[in-house]
Amino acid sequence: MRYGIQTEARRFSALMLFSLLIGILFEAPLEFFLLALSVYLIWFMRKGFAIFRWVEGGMRGAPPFNNGAWIEVIRLLERLKQLQRRSKEKLRFTVKRVRRMTKSLDQGMVILNGDLSLDWWNRSAESLLGFRRTDRGSPITNFVRHPDFIKYVSKARFKEPLRIPSGSEPNVQLEFFGSNVGQGEIVLIVTDITELDNLESMRREFVENVSHELRTPLTVIKGYVETVRDLSDVPTREARVFAQISLQIEKMEALADDLALLSRLESETPPQPINPVKLKPLLSGIVNDAKRLSAGKHVIKLDCDNRVEILGNANELRSAFSNIVFNAVNHNPKGANINIHAGEDANFLNVSIRDDGVGIDLPEIPRITERFYRVDASRNSHSGGTGLGLAIVKHTLNRYNGSLIISSRIGEGAEFLCKLPRT
């Protein structure tokens, strides 16, 4: 860079010196100096305009000149052009690579413009949704007309995936998951979940059938055991054996009932019947049952306004809240306080069950709503739990678009907060 500037400086100095010498010779040094300076500036600007025209033409061919100060600008522009060319090549390679990867995906990918028109899609989306090359720019609602899907993409609030049947093949189940990108653009991921949905249906049917088929033999066994146990001449040792058999039968009946209830809750049908449910009487009944279960070992208090109510199924709500309260009774030592508080804000009905008992370790909290997961196997076995109580609570709240928030620390008790939308 110094070489070009030095050349230009020597050229300028020589011209100015020559003009001064000529001016002195003709006794007008200032006039000749200004004249030479004007000529130099005009010539210098013309070279600048020539460079601008060369740049506007795409910098094709050789530059207008190859010396002076402007040559350094030309060299800088050429380096920038090379960097831009390399960046374009790298970007082009990345785009091609991404396209190859998206084309090979089993999941469909669709990019929508802000007006929900089709901008781009991969082969899987073309197969799942029936797109053609000429469909670019058409609204996606022309191809997927399910009312739930139209609401899903129109609201553009993609917190949860959407499952709907395929419009062209009713037996095919599709799952859509959206994401907002760019200036109002939307990316949709489409997955064929037909096989997964069928497996889930088979699992639910299997669990429901097993729980149903268990009831008949359990009822027969229970009847025979009670008949034999009630005989007056049964020895004491055998009576204790029959009492243990009866206890285990009751546990199996409770497990069968919970499995049937959980299978029903997992179905996508809305809860029925739906009626206004006054919360105070419902929770009062649960508290009375909990006090009988506690037999005076715990302090159980209820705080609920008489006016609080929610639209729902009373039996399902009673099952959800009672599972949490009975867990607090069964899994906390004598003297523990159990406080039940129900209130509402602008959007949610909140039911909090808080205790100051043994608490739950933080790593255990995300898993305690799983089926059959036990924080303490020996303690649950002693209390007679089936391991399905909190799973039932979770699925019940999900049916009302609600949520279960658990906070706890070892030795500091636990709080189970049930949040239910008011509408």
Clarify whether residues 84 and 64 are in a common domain: yes
CATH number for the domain harbouring residue 392 = 3.30.565.10
pLDDT of residue 338: 92
- Domain endpoint, select from 266, 300, 323: 266
Residue 369 near residue 306 (C-beta atoms within 8 A): no
Clarify whether residues 283 and 360 are in a common domain: yes
Clarify whether residues 166 and 206 are in a common domain: no
Clarify whether residues 57 and 142 are in a common domain: no
Give dist(CA 281, CA 342) in Å, integer: 12
Range of the domain at 141: 105-192
pLDDT of residue 233: 66
Give dist(CA 361, CA 326) in Å, integer: 19
Clarify whether residues 221 and 307 are in a common domain: no
Clarify whether residues 72 and 142 are in a common domain: no
Parallel, antiparallel, or unpaired for β 348-355 and 403-408? unpaired
Parallel, antiparallel, or unpaired for β 348-355 and 337-344? antiparallel
Clarify whether residues 14 and 38 are in a common domain: yes
Clarify whether residues 217 and 177 are in a common domain: no
CATH number for the domain harbouring residue 251 = 1.10.287.130
- Domain endpoint, select from 63, 78, 99: 99
Distances in whole angstroms, Cα of residue 144 to Cα of each of 114, 129, 190, 197: 17, 7, 12, 20
Tokens of 180: 């907002």
Clarify whether residues 294 and 415 are in a common domain: yes
CATH number for the domain harbouring residue 185 = 3.30.450.20
pLDDT of residue 380: 45
pLDDT of residue 381: 46
Distances in whole angstroms, Cα of residue 29 to Cα of each of 13, 15, 18, 35, 296: 15, 13, 10, 10, 118
Q: What total of structural domains would you count in the chain? A: 4
Q: If the chain, 423 residues long, is cut into consecutive pieces of 10 residues, what is the mean pLDDT of each piece?
A: 69 82 82 84 82 76 71 77 85 80 80 89 86 88 89 85 83 89 85 83 74 76 76 70 79 75 67 80 92 90 88 87 90 90 86 90 81 59 64 84 88 90 77
Clarify whether residues 386 and 333 are in a common domain: yes
Clarify whether residues 390 and 284 are in a common domain: yes
- Domain endpoint, select from 146, 176, 192: 192
Clarify whether residues 150 and 16 are in a common domain: no
